Amino acid sequence: MNVIAIDHPSIACFDVKAQAEWYCQTFGMKLIATNDANPPAMVIGFGDSVRRGAMIELMPATEPGPRPESFTRFQPGIRHLAFRVDDFDTAYASLKQIGVRFITEPGEALGGGKTILFRDPEGNELQIVQRKK
């Protein structure tokens, strides 16, 4: 096996279209692919195709389960999706301006740099991180 990269994480969403719109507006992502189902599944990202750039798959949540914000910080499993930024202070200010729900204060990133955790509109835990140069 010759693994060359992590292709994408996937988020099960209550409203895929609304989540895609929020991620695209907030992070400058764009729609890369959709299956045009109702409700749809979508791939959004920073590239121009599924072969280029970082991506997230958004799929409809079709089974019952707990809301994402009900998971505690250190429960087993994947806890957040991190977005690397080149200017932490500007990114942090932009997120504050649009009213995101922060769940930590700004802090030191593991390995150096600045970081903060927050939630998307459906309660999924996200992070911005600026790495030391």
Q: Which two tokens stand for residue 58?
A: 């958004």
Instruction: Please indicate, yes or no, whether residues 84 and 122 belong to a single structural domain of this protein.
Output: yes
> Quick one: pLDDT at residue 48?
83
Beta bridge partners of 43: 33, 57
> If residue 88 lies in a helix (H) or strand (E), which one and from where to where?
helix 88-97
How does pLDDT run across 78-104, given as a tens digit for each residue?
999 999 999 999 999 999 999 999 999
Cα–Cα nearest to 98, from 66, 54, 128: 128
In which domain, by residue range, is 49 found?
10-60
Characterise 25 by phi-psi region: left (phi > 0), alpha (psi -120 to 50), beta (else).
Answer: alpha
Residue 125: other Cβ atoms inside 10 A: 19
Categorize the per-residue pLDDT at 36 as very low, low, confident or very high, splitting at 50, 70 and 90: confident
Mean pLDDT of the chain: 94
Residue 28 lies in a domain: yes
Residue 89 lies in a domain: yes
* Number of domains within the chain: 2
